Structure 1
């Protein structure tokens, strides 16, 4: 557990939401890729890892598979010293509790949790009650909320969620959120919740939108979880470095290049299949195909993507 300036959990910098490697033959787990994958990220300056998130296709795996993936990344991190966050939501509550308990036993650094995807919470109080159940299954580990309205349909204000969590203390180990949304006003305001006495909020907020990194950093964010950190880690690091130095002109150039790259990748299909294809094309790590019902992009699309990325990144 990381303690910094009164926060229950904080990770400053860039965290990669890692892909889950599947075999091309039967879409089974290919865990043998993970040690080299972890080493590649460490060598490229990525110090944190989110396991079983959206990019990791956590919701396409059963409980046993998700546990095996967590264990494999935890083992790899014993050598690379990555900070490990594990996403445990997106399943029936009994399975979510099993995943939370398992991650807690594994000694991960934090949990991330989606809301219930069928019985969606209609208020921040209902959401906190759900997170309370999950957190109770993991008594040693901080828990963060995974805010991704485009996928979940749950669009609470994170500022209100933090305010209620701070007021009620319903979830003592509640530590913040992954903010995968473009309402930077809410995100920036949430950074200040609970800071009245110490000057520092007890909550950590991870930006989850690759295309708005520079704007978020300018508003006070200090950490991000971005799929492109797997594929183009140097651009994420340049954006963060530029903002830290208040060199926003240079930061705009890096941000525009990253945004162009995201557009060149995702124009060929859905987020995970296209990002996995880009990972396989641009790096030495082959994470295999996405798991059905997601579909691989075509060879022609891969060729076009490869050429366009080469042009964007060489300009």
Structure 2
């Protein structure tokens, strides 16, 4: 049994009345902003991993200290198992020189492949694993999600596991408060460390961050907001971490919002949030989330991550031109 599992199994002590008393540290201690990295592809759709070391340095120089690999932004579900493993290995290697915290998304594939990816990530000694629910045989309730996650976690006994809650894509819309409460109260899921909460239901989010906490304090689970447009609201309600695509491109807004929230400067936070929201609306007016964001990454930063991979479709030259003009008007892009 790993040392992290030992700690988690010490989570619960029974008092003489049968109540559960908290005695748990966070399994996953990263706080702040994490970038869900794009996967670089060449014009012919092949992996272009040569750019990743420069990409990692660019992020750390920008004040971003964690990466999510093979997520939605990274088009992980459009990649083979071997490609996902290769990208994981390179980011883990890059982390040795940059200090980046590495989270790897392993879901969105047939279950045997998910297990294979989890075991590989564990061997690579990544900092955490993120996992979608099954996308075809969709779980119907919290119990089925937990059963799936435990099977995945069994393949990665040394690595904290987080659930990827993104119902807009998965159509699995469970309560994360209920999910974490069941895991906490049962004590049967020692490596479940939290969730990436890509949803705007901040009522559930605010409750989730307090599961297992004493009175009104934050609990032991790590919750990452995954909605760039709701950062300030989430930080105000108790989140202290986020995973946002815009942290790759215009990280200054996310950093300003987090800093303002920490200082209770909600006037400043509102201004930064509104500026970020306007930028996102301008970018996504020309196309879907990943194609639009990848196009902006390519012309607004020094890192060229190439085109999206089929079945996604890249933006036309006319749409990219229109996007540049709109971002000039916003002051996001300079002449």
TM-score (norm 2): 0.91
Output the CA distance in 2 between the equivalents of 1:197 and 1:249.
29
Deviations 1:206-249 (A, max 9, x none): 00000000011011110000000000011111111111111111
Query: Which of 90, 98, 109 is matched with 1:80 structurally?
Result: 98
Structure 1 residues 22-33: aligned runs within 5 Å? 22-24=41-43, 26-33=44-51
1:15-164 equivalences in 2 (<5 Å): 15-24=34-43, 26-164=44-182
CA contact (8 A) 1:128 1:170 kept: no
Q: Deviation per CA, 1:71-115: give whole Å up to 9, x if none.
A: 010111111000000000000000000000000000000000000
In the alignment, the residues of structure 2 paired with residue 126 and residue 274 of structure 1 have an alpha-carbon distance, to the nearest angstrom, of 35
Q: Output one character per residue of 1:135-170: Cα deviation in whole Å (capped at 9) or x when no partner.
A: 000000000000000000000000000111112223
Contact 1:129–1:170 (CA under 8 A) maintained in structure 2: no
Distance in 1 (CA, whole Å) between partners of 2:262 and 2:185 is 32
Q: Is the 2:37–2:69 contact (alpha carbons within 8 Å) kept by the matching residues of 1?
A: yes
Distance 2:215 2:332 in 1: 49
Aligned position for 1:181: 199
Q: Does 1:270 align with 2:292?
A: no
Determine the C-alpha separation between the residues in 2 that align with 1:212 and 1:314.
20
Structure 1 gap segments, 5+ residues each? none
Q: How does 1:231-250 map to 2 (within 5 A)?
A: 231-250=249-268
Select which of 223, 226, 229 maps to 1:208: 226
Aligned to 2:26: 7
The equivalences for 1:222-233 within 5 A come to: 222-233=240-251
Given that 1:51 and 1:84 are in contact with CA atoms closer than 8 Å, whether structure 2 keeps it comes out as yes
User: Residues 90 and 117 of structure 1 are in contact (CA less than 8 Å); yes or no, is this contact kept in structure 2?
Assistant: yes
Aligned residue pairs total 313
* Paired residues of 1:90 and 1:116 also in contact (CA < 8 A): yes
State which of 249, 255, 258 in structure 1 corresponds to 2:276: 258
RMSD of aligned Cα (Å)? 1.6
**Residues of 2 paired with 1:200 and 1:285: CA distance?**
37
Query: How far, CA to CA, are the matches of 1:142 and 1:314 in structure 2?
Result: 37
192-201 or 123-132: which moved more? 192-201
Tell which structure's C-alpha radius of gyration is larger.
2
Query: Distance in 2 between the 1:126 and 1:193 partners?
Result: 20
Q: CA deviation at 1:314?
A: 5.3
1:197 offset after TM fit, Å?
8.1
SS at match of 1:269: coil
Query: Does structure 1 conserve the Cα–Cα contact (< 8 Å) formed by 2:31 and 2:241?
Result: yes
Give yes or no for contact 1:85–1:109 (8 Å, CA) kept in 2. yes
